């Protein structure tokens, strides 16, 4: 029987793998609990900080602080994670985060809010969450049976988008009824429960290298990962496009907020429906990907089509009447959901299991750094250019990257997309 690129045994063409195994069900349940608490907590804290400070700059600084660990921490931890059982990082990450959020809630019940203290706490929490996220990303492919990758990531995508639609309004109600401290304590409880469930997962991780570690070994592991990426044109092409397109999307997010706040006939409520339309599209895409399997040979062509249409839709977005804006975002959510599932399922199966944490850490760090840089760049453009023109320029730059990074590496990227049946 043939081997899959990640080292597992590939299924025969007539074999239909069962996705909902014991381990996959447990990690999905744990993910749901952690995501529900995280979405509600993030929503509550974003309002809480503004209410306490009355400053948008203070709120923005918290977001900026929270991004820093997601660039640096995974790069430091990933080489160690590739040498040790990743399940321990996953379980400990949720447990520590849960305890920290519960203690933060208890603190806010008894003591006044301190902005400087909260910045320090945000930095620590974001560091722990960066480790936990990297562990989840690296171990998740191991609980998906070979041949069920597309379905597995469809479930993950659908789970988060559905919870986002449900938990945001629910968190708004809880914010006014039980308050931020108790909501944070509930988030901590959900994270600790997720940790307990993850501890029951019986994933069999492949034997690791020697656990004796040193700074020289860490540096060697980092060089090995960079060397691997240097020889993988397909992964580099996908990463380059994702870094710039995600960075531009993050950059024009404040532009959209400003447009809906200032343009005649628009409002914050209209923006809420606007965002919801995209979540609806992503949920539909996840459901479709769960039911319909895209043949390996058609994945590259479908991805290029999605990237092209998505970027064109971005370019024309703010020039449309509001009903067509809603249709535009729903369509983009649908397209983006499809391309995300195909890309992640393929890349996580393609990357060798023994260095998955390191490669994922580099990818996540580069995308996060790009998002930070483009936030400043596009935000600066918004000070001197029409908001609609800013978003159009973002869409056109991203469209040019389809050719620059994706079409020029067609053969190599196609190989990545064909990594699983």
Report DSSP letters for 153-199, one per residue.
HHHHHHHHHHHHHHHHHHHHHHHHHTHHHHHHHHHHHHHHHHHHHHT
- Alpha-carbon separation of residue 203 from 31, 70, 200, 352, 398 (angstroms): 16, 26, 9, 17, 39
The pair of structure tokens assigned to 96 is: 């520590």
SS3 385: coil
- Per-residue confidence (pLDDT) for residue 41, from 0 to 100: 80
| Residue in the structure block whose two tokens are 């040790």 | 84
Phi, psi of 204 (to 5 degrees): -100, 105
DSSP state of 143: G
- Per-residue confidence (pLDDT) for residue 4, from 0 to 100: 41
- Per-residue confidence (pLDDT) for residue 56, from 0 to 100: 53
- Per-residue confidence (pLDDT) for residue 208, from 0 to 100: 57
The pair of structure tokens assigned to 308 is: 């092209």
Closest CA to 375 of 247, 242, 258: 247
DSSP H helical segments within 17-55, as ranges?
22-53
Cα dihedral 237, 241, 247, 249, rounded to 10, equals -160
- Per-residue confidence (pLDDT) for residue 63, from 0 to 100: 67
Closest CA to 344 of 366, 360, 368, 367: 360
376: which residues sit within 8 A by CB, 6+ positions away? Answer: 251
Report DSSP letters for 267-291, one per residue.
-HHHHHHHHHHHHHHHHHHHHHHHH
The pair of structure tokens assigned to 6 is: 């990640």
Residue 343 gets the label, from left (phi > 0), alpha (psi -120 to 50) or beta, of alpha
CA dist., res. 87 & res. 89, Å (int): 5
Per-residue pLDDT of the chain (421 residues; tens, 9 = 90+): 333 444 444 444 455 667 889 999 999 999 999 988 888 887 777 667 767 776 655 666 676 677 788 878 888 888 888 888 888 899 998 999 999 999 988 988 888 878 888 888 888 888 888 888 888 888 888 888 887 888 888 888 888 878 877 776 777 777 778 888 888 899 999 999 999 999 998 877 665 555 566 777 788 888 888 899 889 999 999 999 999 998 888 878 778 877 887 788 887 677 767 777 888 888 888 888 888 888 888 999 999 999 999 999 999 999 999 999 999 999 998 998 888 888 988 898 899 888 888 888 888 888 888 887 887 788 778 878 888 998 999 999 999 999 999 999 999 999 999 877 7
**What residues does 3 pair with on adjacent strands?**
9
SS3 266: coil
**The model's pTM:** 0.74
The pair of structure tokens assigned to 14 is: 């007539």
**What residues does 9 pair with on adjacent strands?**
3
The pair of structure tokens assigned to 210 is: 């020697």
Structural contact between residues 97 and 128, judged by C-beta atoms closer than 8 angstroms: yes
CA dist., res. 20 & res. 245, Å (int): 33
Structural contact between residues 168 and 43, judged by C-beta atoms closer than 8 angstroms: yes
CA dist., res. 98 & res. 105, Å (int): 11
- Per-residue confidence (pLDDT) for residue 5, from 0 to 100: 40
- Per-residue confidence (pLDDT) for residue 11, from 0 to 100: 47
52: which residues sit within 8 A by CB, 6+ positions away? Answer: 113, 115
């Amino acid at each position: 029987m043939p081997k899959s690129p990640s080292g597992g045994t590939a299924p025969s063409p007539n074999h239909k793998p069962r996705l909902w195994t014991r381990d996959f069900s447990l990690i999905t349940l744990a993910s749901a609990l952690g995501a529900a608490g995280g979405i509600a907590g993030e929503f509550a804290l974003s309002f809480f900080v503004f209410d306490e400070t009355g400053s948008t700059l203070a709120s923005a600084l918290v977001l900026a602080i929270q991004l820093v660990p997601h660039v640096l921490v995974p790069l430091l931890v990933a080489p160690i994670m590739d040498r040790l059982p990743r399940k321990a990082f996953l379980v400990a990450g949720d447990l520590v985060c849960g305890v920290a959020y519960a203690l933060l809630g208890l603190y806010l019940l008894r003591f006044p809010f301190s902005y400087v203290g909260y910045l320090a706490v945000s930095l620590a929490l974001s560091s722990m969450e960066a480790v936990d996220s990297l562990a989840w990303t690296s171990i998740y492919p191991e609980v998906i049976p070979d041949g069920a990758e597309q379905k597995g990531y469809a479930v993950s995508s659908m789970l988060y988008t559905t919870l986002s639609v449900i938990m945001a309004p629910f968190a708004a109600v809880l914010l006014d009824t039980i308050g931020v401290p108790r909501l944070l304590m509930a988030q901590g409880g959900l994270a600790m429960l997720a940790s307990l469930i993850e501890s029951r997962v019986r994933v069999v991780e492949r034997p690791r290298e020697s656990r004796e570690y040193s700074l020289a070994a860490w540096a060697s592991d980092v060089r090995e990962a960079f060397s691997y990426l240097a020889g993988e044109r397909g992964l580099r092409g996908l990463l380059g496009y994702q870094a710039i397109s995600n960075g531009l999307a993050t950059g024009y997010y404040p532009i959209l907020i400003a447009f809906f706040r200032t343009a005649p006939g628009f409002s914050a409520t209209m923006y809420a429906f606007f965002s919801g339309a995209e979540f609806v599209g992503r949920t539909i895409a996840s459901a479709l990907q769960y039911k319909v399997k895209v043949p390996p040979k058609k994945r590259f062509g479908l991805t290029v089509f999605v990237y092209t249409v998505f970027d064109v839709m971005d370019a024309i977005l703010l020039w449309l009447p509001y009903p067509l804006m809603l249709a535009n975002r729903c369509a983009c959510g649908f397209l983006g959901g499809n391309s995300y599932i195909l890309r992640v399922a393929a890349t996580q199966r393609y990357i060798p299991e023994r260095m998955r944490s390191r490669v994922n850490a580099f990818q996540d760090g580069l995308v996060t750094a790009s998002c930070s840089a483009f936030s400043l760049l596009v935000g600066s453009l918004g000070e001197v250019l029409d908001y609609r023109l800013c978003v159009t320029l973002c869409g056109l730059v991203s469209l040019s990257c389809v050719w620059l990074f994706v079409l020029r590496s067609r053969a190599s990227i196609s190989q990545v997309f064909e990594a699983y049946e």
